[in-house]
Each structure stands twice: as structure tokens, then as C-alpha cells.
Structure 1
Amino acid sequence: MQQRRLGTAGPTVSALGLGCMGMSALYGPTDRSESIATLRAALDAGVTLLDTGDFYAMGHNELLIAEALKGVPRDAVQISVKFGAQRGPAGDWLGYDARPAAVKTALAYSLQRLGTDYIDVYRPARLDPNVPIEETVGAIADMVKAGWVRHVGLSEVGPETIRRAAAVHPISDLQIEYSLISRGVEEAILPVLRELGIGVTAYGVLSRGLISGHWTAQTAMASADFRAHSPRFQGDNVARNLALVEALRQVAEGRGITVAQAAIAWVAAQGSDIVPLVGSRRRGQLAEALGSLDVSLSADDLAAIERAVPKGAAAGSRYAESQMAVLDSER
């Protein structure tokens, strides 16, 4: 397994990480046994970076990971945890809480559910507008000093917040959506990260399956599936976006690779400081994603891919308007 380091202050991890959210929530029905089998297949393949959030099905995802990791040496994996999102019993979103006491309480619960005595990378899921980022990062830094956390990460925040956070404690990485059709990070955020020596864990590299090469306009979605309410999967938007996928398919087939492998390899090729996270929920999906690690894209390949999927060509925003409004990374 190839490896990459998460920034100058972060851990060395597998060049491909596994995002575990969909194994528990937000993408429709789940399969516990297949999820655990997929997690173990990832570990067997050398994937060491597992990403989760304490609010993914209200702790279910952390418990799932704990089950899959039974018998696995703790230092063989790096666990990344997001915290702070508040949810009600019906699954409704209530906002964010990143006050220092909340940080430490959430960490205590995650440690218990994961069955571990430390988290490798701990990060607020979003910027809490009511709490200065210095206070949130300071609280995580306290937990680093106490040995409960190894590294401090961030998620979906913009340049000013990144600078303020890094002034308090070294930041390993920023977790943010980055794909062929979500390239907002390139303008102002990526240059600041590279100036400060902060890495990127890129989620949504397949835009939640939209640019995987397997999605069609007829793909059924359960009402509980996040994508059923995502602008990019709606009406005329999905047709326009799938036309981009077909253009990408022509390039991928010319290279003898799949659409998904082309999309993942493109993200990985944007810099050695970027680690793509794939949300594979089944072993077949994982095997296809792992195949991207064998893909070396030439300058001509990259140019062909970008002609097929030009920057800014996607139809629809990556989240609904109400969710976009709370993203510090979009301001």
C-alpha cells in the first residue's frame, strides 16, 4: 500500500482512506455484515485511515468500526473522528456545539464506543458560529497533551479560520469535499493549506456516487437517502451531470480503467498532500477504488479528463442552500 503524510504535523497514512459514514446512515438501507466485511477487506488491503463521525447514526458507525477492528493492533490503523453536529431523536439537525466542554464530552463518548484510548485525528465537523475556533482547537490541544488525541484536524472551513486554528496548534489536515465536479478548494483554501503545511483528506471524490460511472437517471433512492434531496441529483441537473460522466467514461475506457478509478486518480494526482477518501460500502466497490492506486495519469491524461469534465461544469450545488449557508469553506 502506498502511503502519504497528512501535512507536516500529521500521521503517515494509506494513500487511500475509507469513509465509513454510508455504512450506517444517509445513503439508504445498510448491510451490517457486508459493512464489516468491507472494513476488514480494506484493512487486509493495507488501508489504514478510517474516517467517521460521532453523529453518523448517533454512534452506530463508531460501534461498527470497533467491531471490525477487534483483534487488529491499535497502531495498525488511524481513526479520524468528526464531532460537534447536534441531532434530535428523529434524526433532525439542530446545529453545532464546539464549546470546550462539549469537545471533551464528545471525545469521551467516542473513545468508549470505539473501544480505544486515543483518537488519531479529532476534528470539528463544521465551524460553530458561536464559538471562536481558537477555543475549540485549544480544547482539542488539551486532549493532545493528555494523550487522548494524537492530531488536530479541521473540516469544511475557509482560509481565515484555518490560519486562526493553526496559530493555536499544528493542524494535520483539512477534510473537505474535492472532486472533478467540486473544485472550490483550489481557489483560496488549497494555497493556504500548502503555505501552512496542512494536508487534505478529500471526501466526496465520486460525488456520492454521481460520478462513479454506476449511477443512472433511473437509480432508485430511498426517502432517507441524502442524495434524494441533493441539488446535483435533481431534475435537469442530474442529466447534465451524467453527460459529464459519459464524457469521462470515454477517456477512462481509452486508458483501460473505470470511470471511478479515473475520478479517484485525478484527485490523488492533484498533490502528494491529498489523501482521497472513498465511501465504499461493499467489497466490490472497494476493490474498484483500490484499483485507482495502480493508475498513473500523465499530463495528457489529466488534460483529457479536464476537457471531459471542465472546472465549474457541474449542475447544482453540492449541498442544499440551507446547508451551504453554514459552510465556512464557502464564504
Structure 2
Amino acid sequence: FQMQMTPEHVVSFHYVSDGSEALLGMTASELQQDAQLLFSIMNTRDRQDLRAKLIQSAQTHEKLDWEGRVWIDGWQDTKWINLRATISLLEDGVVQWDGIMLNITQSKLEKLEIEQSRRELEQLTAHMNQVKEQERISIAREIHDDLGGNLTAIKMGLASIAQQITAGNAISLEQTSHLESIVNRTFESVHRISGNLRPSILDLGIVDAIEWQVTQFKKQVGVKSAFATNHSDITLSTEQAMALFRICQESLSNIAKYAKATNVNVRLEASDDEVLLEVIDNGVGIKDADKLKTNSFGLRGMHERVTALNGSLAIGPSGEGMSGTKVQVTLPL
């Protein structure tokens, strides 16, 4: 194209190639007759930005390099275009740009997708760091309040017994029983804290662990739940077992919070080359918009776990023409 601009900032095309019709849906003659047609298919922000770039180029005599969006009404489509041109000075203060107009839609969308993924990863990382910090605070509080309190009580009890022994007094059975009960509570606290860090149920295998989760969910939430598997024992790596356990945990938690379901089915199956986990409910279902929310850290965390293990995660309707949600995880063996 050849584009000219007067000192009054009036823009016109003196030459446009026939490729304009495939790119913009406008013929070369239409653009040469009225250059404002190009600006008319831009949104306000991009239109103002292009005018500012033209004025800046005219004042500094620098090359024009601009990219923005245009709306092709006849195709009901938005395109990203890039204008690149060299500038030359004509008579009476008129400037002319000789250049090309490129369709950069694909590369621009890919770039925007990468930037969006990077932002989401940063948000997820920040959220995970916050969760880790909250877990550290919680563990520190439990150790201080629970274990610390028990150990202090044991120390005081032992000091009392030592004083009685020194004084030659008899030690009552009540005192020893009390100390024993404190020691037992301490063991329970240690077991609970370690279980929160890594569920001990996983030591029994992923099949028993998932079945236990479903049973606990049924007891605590009161929703009819069933578990099915095609193997009594499925051998997985520690990372795979933890990922499936946490994804099942997150899925059941989401059902309890949002689904309003009356029936839940969990299925764990293994073949020669992959393991499959499905969590299906008959609740209200999940909207696509909800899956894209920036604060959907639970869903995003599930995706991150699966991606790290070269697996796949699908979240959608529980079945054709059915309400509810199906979470499907596949990991390679």
C-alpha cells in the first residue's frame, strides 16, 4: 500500500494491492476512494493508537510499525493486522508511507495465550505459596499448642513424681494414669499432624485410599456414593498416587460445596498402559465460565498435577443430556 497524510492529518490511500479484499473484506478501489473505511472497522482504542502512531512517524520520520484489531462484519470475525512501512517526505508537508499490511492473527493469539498462561501460572504459584505458608502456620500452631502443651504437662507430672520419690512419698495410680493419657493424646496428635502432611491411607495402596475417601465423603456429607474398580491393587509411583488422591479429594470437596448432588460415582480403572479416575455426580453441573475463572485455583491445581505427570484432565457434563459433572483423569503407566 501507499498511504499519504497531509499536515492537517487527513489520511488517504494512493495505492492498495488486491490482497486487501482477502485481508479486510474491502476492495482496493474502496479503500482508495475512502481511507476512513480502514479506521471504521477498528475499535476506538486501536483507531486512536494508529492515528497517534501515524502522527508520531510523520513528526520523527521513523518507520511505521503498528498492530491492532479490525472487525470484518461480513465474516463476523476479528483479525489482528500489522502495518509496516517506510516514510518519505513529499511537497507541501505531505508524508507518504510505502509498506505492507499483514495478517498476524494466529501468531498474536498464540502470544496472548502464552501470556495468559504465564499470568495464570504466576497466580497459581502465588496461591500455592500462600497455601504453603498457611499450612506452615497451622502446623506450627498445632505443634506449639497441642504437642507443646502435652509435653509441658508431662514434664510437670514427671517433676511432681520426682519430688514425691525424693520425699519418700508413695506415687498414686491416678498420677501415672493421667500421664499415660497425656502420652496417648500426644501420639494421636503426632499421627494427625503427619496424616495431614501425607495421608497414611496411601500406604495401603491407591485403590483402598480412594475407596476410603468415598466412604468418608458418604458419611460426612450424607450423599449416596459408590466406588468401583477393575483391580484390587494398582501399582503407581508415589507422585501418581498422591495426584489421584488429591484430585479425588478436590473433586469430592467441590461436589459438597457447589454441586447439590444426590448421587456420586467414583471409578478407578487400570489397563496395560494407563490408569483412569472418574468422579461423576448428578448435581447442577459446572459452567465453562466457572472453569475459566482466575480464582479457580482448585481446578487449576488439578490441571497442574496432571500436566506434571504427562496425563490428561477433562471436566465436563456427566453425560449427554444429563445434569452433573464428570471429572476424568488419565495418567500413563
Q: TM-score, normalised on structure 2?
A: 0.19
Higher RCO (CA-CA < 8 Å; seq separation 6+): 1
In proportion to residue count, which structure has more strand? 2
Q: TM-score, normalised on structure 1?
A: 0.19
In proportion to residue count, which structure has more helix? 2
Q: Which protein has the larger Cα radius of gyration, Structure 1 or Structure 2?
A: 2
